[in-house]
Structure formats: C-alpha cells, structure tokens
Amino acid sequence: MPKHYRPAGKKKEGNAARYITRSQAVKYLQVSLSVFRRLCIFKGVFPRDPKKKVKGNHHTYYHMKDILFLKHEPLLDKFREMRAYEKKVKKAVSKKNKDLAERLLTRKPTYTLDMLIRERYPKFIDALRDLDDCLTMVHLFAALPAIERENIQAERIHNCRGLSLEWQAYISRTHKLRKAFISVKGIYYQAEVEGQKVTWLTPHALQQVMPQDVDYKIMLTFLEFYETLLGFVNLRLYHSIKLKYPPILDPRLKALAADLYALTRYADAKDRAIGANDEESELRLAQLQDQLPANEPGALMHLVENVADDNEDDEETIACKTLFQNKTFFLGREVPRESLMFVITAFGGVVSWDGDGAPFDESNQDINYQIVDRPTQSHRFISRDYVQPQWVFDCINARIILPTEEYMVGKVLPPHLSPFVDNEAEGYVPEYGETIKRLQAAARKEILPMPGGEHDDLENAQNLLAEGINDRTKAKAAAEKKQKMALHEKQYHQELKKELEVMQYTPDPNIDDDVKSNVEENTDVDDDVKSNFEENTDVDDDVKSNVEENTDDVSPEQLIKDYENMAMVSMSRNKRRLYEAIKISQARKKANVETLERRKKNIQKNIRLKDGI
C-alpha cells in the first residue's frame, strides 16, 4: 500500500484540505485566468506559501477559505454576465445583424467597486493606512502618455491627474506635508493625515519610457481599484474641511494646465465664504445674547469657541504653516512647477510662475525668492535672492530658512540629505547634517551641548563640573571594583586547580602516622611534606603575583564577551538566532560607517593636497 494512500470516500485532511492550487481554483470557480486575477486583486486575496506543498513546488497555492470567499462574491456574477454579453455582441456582428448589435451596445452591463471599498476598509483610518501604494500608482499613471495598444486611455490619465491634484490640494490647504526628498526615481513625499503617516512617490516631469516587460493589464486592474479608493478618501477629506467635492475649477486655469493653482483658489474662496458666514453668526449670537437667562452668560459664544478649539492645529502643523509665511516665491520656466507649488503652499508661502494664468508677474516687488535653474538670467532684481530648487526642499526638511549662499545659481550644491534616514541611529552624521543642526540650534537660540552632555547642564556650569567629577569618580570606582572582582575570580580558579591536584595526590606509605598527624595539625614538617600539602595554607606571594599578572591580561571587553557567551548558552534557539541576526546587522552598520568615514578622510586629504599644489 502506498505511503499516502487515502481510501475512497475519506475526507481530505491537513494541507490538502486547507490549500488549493491556482488551476484548481480556476476550475472550481468556472472563470478564466484573467477574471480570477481581477477578482483576487479587487478582493485582496493573495497566494499562500504552505510548509508542505501537496501538489509540488511548481504550483501557486491559495487558501481554500479565500476561494470560498470569492465564490460568493456578487462581482463574479457580474463578470459572467459581461462575458455572456460579449458573446451576444460577437454573434450579432458575425451574423451581420447591425440593429441587434447597436441595441446590445447601448445596454452594456457595468459594475462599481463601492461595496468592495466599504468591505475592505470598514473604518476610514484603515483606508489611510493602505494609501501609500494607491497614491504612488495614481501619480504614476497621471504622468504616463495615453497608449491604445496597452489599453491606457486618455480618460483614465485625466482622471488620475485630477485625483492626484485633489489630494495635493488638500495636503497643501491643511499644511499636512512633513517631508520631501528628491531622488533618481522621483520625488518622495510624506504627509501626516489624522495621525497616519502616508508616503508616496511622484515621477519627475519628464518624458516617460514605457518598458515592454511590464504587464499593464494587471497594473490597470490595480489602478481601477485605487481610483475608487482615492475618490472615497478625497470625498471624506474635503467634507472634513467643509469643501464641496468634486471641486468646481476655473475652466481658464484648467485649460492652461494650472489645475493645482485652480484648486488652491477654490479652497481659499470657500474659506473666505465660510469666514464671512462665521462673522455673521457671531454677530447674530451677540444680538441674541441679551435674550438669554441671566444665569447662562455667554453660553452660545462659549459653544462657538469650543467648536473653534476643536479645529486647532498641533505644534508641528503650526511650524509647517509658518515656515514660509509672508514669503513670496517666483518660479522660472525651467524648474518643476507643480512640485514646487505644492511644497511652498503647503508651508505657507505664496507662489507665482512665468507663464499664462500666473497671479503676478516677475516684476512684482514683493517677491523674496526666485527659483531658477539656469546659470544666466536676462534681468536680476537686487531685492530678491536667486536660488536653486534644492534650497526649498532642504528648508522644509530642516524646518528653518537656510542661508542662500550655498544655493546660489551656478554653485555646486551641498549634499541633499534624506529626511527618511535617522543619521544618529545609523551612527554616522554627515558634515552638512552637523551644519544644519547648528543652524537649527541658532534659530532656537540654543547652545549645542558637548558630546554626552544634556541641554539642561548648560544652565549651570558649576553643576556641570560637579557632575563631571562625580561621573569620573564613579567610573574610577567601577573600574577598581571590576579589577578586584577579576582578581577574586582568578584566585578562585587557582584554588579549584589546587584542590584537583590534592584529589589526584596519593601519600607515600613510608611516612609514619605521627608525621601524618603532625601534618593534619599544621605542625612543622619537612620541606617535602609541606610542598605536598600547600593547598591547606594561604596563597603565597608567587601565586598572588601570578594572579595579578593574569588579571592585567584580561580586558573588560573579554569579560563582557564571556558573560555574553554564558547568556547565549541559556537562550532558546529562536532567541539565539534573533540575537545573532541583530549582531550581524550591527556589524554591517558599523562597517558601513567605517567605510563612509574612510571615504570622508580620503576626500579631505585629496582636497588638502590639491590646495597645497
């Protein structure tokens, strides 16, 4: 009988009952492979990796519960209906029945993904947590060209562009942007919406190259779901700030490709209308105040103040809102307009550009900074600074207005540091990062502490000196204690060694009982017997000197290593593997830091040699 023989009629058990291959799932649902993929993407079903693969390692496995979940999906019936409709149209066209084909084309079945959004994201916070890939995909397709052979239609491109700009307009209006970083792939952004950090990537405003090894059908299926999701998120966010959705834009600005500016104007106009209504409400409440009972003074006004307090921003939002406050920027033709408009307005600045639809032109005297990326300018104004685009991104990441000398036109820019990397945790802080820290401390009117010190220590120099002396005394006492413990440990090992030697020693039978008794009573014996029983006496000076020499040879690092080895013996296997992985990660990080420091020294050495030459 085979090892895995199962009698006929016996129920499957184990992985054979819990998992099913993709081909079996397609047969079970009676759909095509493309429809099965769409269902899995829409419902969030993904392949599994069972420990024991019953059908072999070359199959893709799904959980049986997920397949049963797809079996009862109403969208599956809709796909079957659409398949039957396509067959009817094809049959009518093949029979050259134009009237029937035209009637069928007017009655094409459609479907929506609204119920799937509510099913997968029962709470709004769940949708925000899953928004990173959604925003990246929508921003990607907003920058792609329309290609018919890949079924990328122009309507979907315009829809993606509208959704992405609506999201940016909300982030800019509420000042929720926190980080921005320019990389080779594109521009990374991070915003904080309702306590959730949302990170997405936008491609550069360049001609996009369409690779041939990408399955655009699957990407378009993901995009279909993400468009619905982002539409629901934008609707909820716009209603939270009392704006109508979808927004009504100025057709003139929309025709000039100034959609983001049109959205900003739409939000500002609504704010002015809401502000006017609030003033009218406060005036009305003040007039009705005299009609309230005497024991409830100012009840309605307190109610309005409480509602206003609920909408107050946190400290970080206030810092972002006031970074570019009362600052006016003008963008040149060669810089990325949409990204700079999004970033500057999100941090409280006012922006204009060189082109049609701009709120003001280049000759405006209120302009503080002009963002350019060309070495020569036709006309320069003395009242403003001409800087490169990187200055804006470095300012918002540092939360201060950086000096513009390093970012002047034609100069080699300083390194663009990533705000997503914690330099202190990595163990290496770049030189320009130290410069930014000093500028931040100067902006806060603080004095940077010494390495290992705290900010509170700088308030009293005498306390700092006293605590430094105490720390040195404690360190010295700890070192002496450690050395004394090492000495006692060596003495203990020496005594154990002597005891083992005594156990192995056999006394000479020629020695009489009197000598033995004298030895036991610690009396004077000859030199041979005394040397045989040295373990019962005190450790002589030679042993002490040997212990001291051995103690000096042992370093604290070696003792720490011995203690770690003893602790690892008592660990379980999983904890030991985790500990080893942590050690490997720390060693790799240390090696990376050493490589960076070595490169830095080589660069500085080359600069000194070059200056000397």
What are the tens digits of pLDDT across the range 76-122? 999 999 899 989 999 999 988 888 888 888 888 889 999 999 999 99
Q: What is the pLDDT of residue 316?
A: 85
Kindly report the number of other CB atoms within 10 A of residue 435's CB atom: 15
Look at residue 266 in the predicted model and tell me its pLDDT: 67
pLDDT of 507 > 60? The answer is: no
Over 80: is that where the pLDDT of 8 sits?
no
The mean pLDDT of 284-303, rounded to a whole number, is 41
Please state the rounded mean pLDDT for residues 197-209.
90
Tell me what percent of the residues of the chain surpass a pLDDT of 70: 73
Residue 65 confidence (pLDDT) above 60: yes
Determine the average pLDDT of the residues in 410-438: 86
Instruction: Tell me which of 66 and 566 has the higher pLDDT.
Output: 66
The whole-number pLDDT of residue 128 equals: 95
* 535 pLDDT tier (thresholds 50, 70, 90): very low
Closest CA to 414 of 439, 438, 388: 388
What is the enclosing helix (H) or strand (E) of 192? strand 187-193
Query: Longest Cα pair distance anywhere in the chain, in angstroms?
Result: 134
**Measuring CA to CA, how many Å separate 18 from each of 66, 518, 569?**
10, 83, 39
Give pLDDT, residue 300. 33
pLDDT average, residue stretch 262-270: 67
The whole-number pLDDT of residue 43 equals 93
Predicted TM-score (pTM) of this structure = 0.71
Q: Say what the pLDDT of residue 523 is.
A: 42
Statement: residue 258 has pLDDT above 60: yes
Please say if the pLDDT value at position 505 is more than 70.
Answer: no
Q: How does DSSP assign 366-415, residue by residue? A: T--EEE---S--S---TTSEEE-THHHHHHHHHTS---SGGGBTTSPPPP
Average pLDDT over residues 72-77: 91
Higher-scoring residue by pLDDT: 258, 486: 486
Between 86 and 258, name the one with better pLDDT. Answer: 86
Task: Select the more confidently predicted residue: 21 or 517.
Answer: 21
Q: What is the pLDDT of residues 175-188, one digit of tens each?
A: 999 999 999 999 99
Model pLDDT, residue 290: 47
* Residue written as token pair 């050495």: 605
Q: How far apart are CA 146 and CA 148, in angstroms?
A: 7
Q: How does residue 254 score in pLDDT terms, banded at 50, 70 and 90?
A: low
- What was the pLDDT predicted at 451? 46
Tell me which of 227 and 473 has the higher pLDDT: 227
pLDDT grade for 312, boundaries at 50, 70 and 90: low
* Helix 337-346 / helix 259-288 crossing angle, nearest 10 deg: 20
Looking at the predicted structure, is the pLDDT value of residue 537 above 60? Answer: no
Which pLDDT score, from 0 to 100, does residue 137 have? 95
**The pLDDT of residue 308:** 37
Query: Which of 503 and 361 is assigned the larger pLDDT?
Result: 361
Average pLDDT estimate for 189-203: 94
d(CA 116, CA 39): 11
pLDDT band at 432 (very low <50, low <70, confident <90, very high): confident
Using a pLDDT cut of 90, give the percent of the chain over it: 35
Residue 498's pLDDT band (boundaries 50, 70, 90)? confident
Average pLDDT over residues 461-470: 49
Q: Does 546 or 28 have the greater pLDDT score?
A: 28
Q: Check: CB of residue 210 under 8 Å from CB of residue 151.
A: no
pLDDT, position 196: 93
Q: How confident is the model at residue 142 (pLDDT cuts 50, 70, 90)?
A: very high
355 is written with which tokens? 């082109």
Closest C-alpha to 515, from 303, 570, 507:
507
Confidence label for 310 from pLDDT (cuts 50, 70 and 90): very low
Of 4-13, 117-126, 189-198, 562-571, give the lowest mean pLDDT range: 4-13
Instruction: Please compute the mean of the pLDDT values over residues 461-480 and round it to a whole number.
Output: 58
Mean pLDDT of the chain: 78
Of 35-39, 219-223, 260-264, 583-587, the poorest mean pLDDT is in: 260-264
- For the chain, the straight-line distance linking the first and the last C-alpha, in angstroms and rounded, comes to 88
User: What band does 518 get if pLDDT is binned at 50, 70 and 90?
Assistant: very low
Q: For residues 279 and 268, what is the distance between their CA atoms, to the nearest angstrom?
A: 16
Q: How confident is the model at residue 210 (pLDDT cuts 50, 70, 90)?
A: confident
Cα gap 211→119, rounded to integer Å:
35
52 contacts 15 by C-beta, under 8 angstroms: yes
The pLDDT value given to residue 522: 44
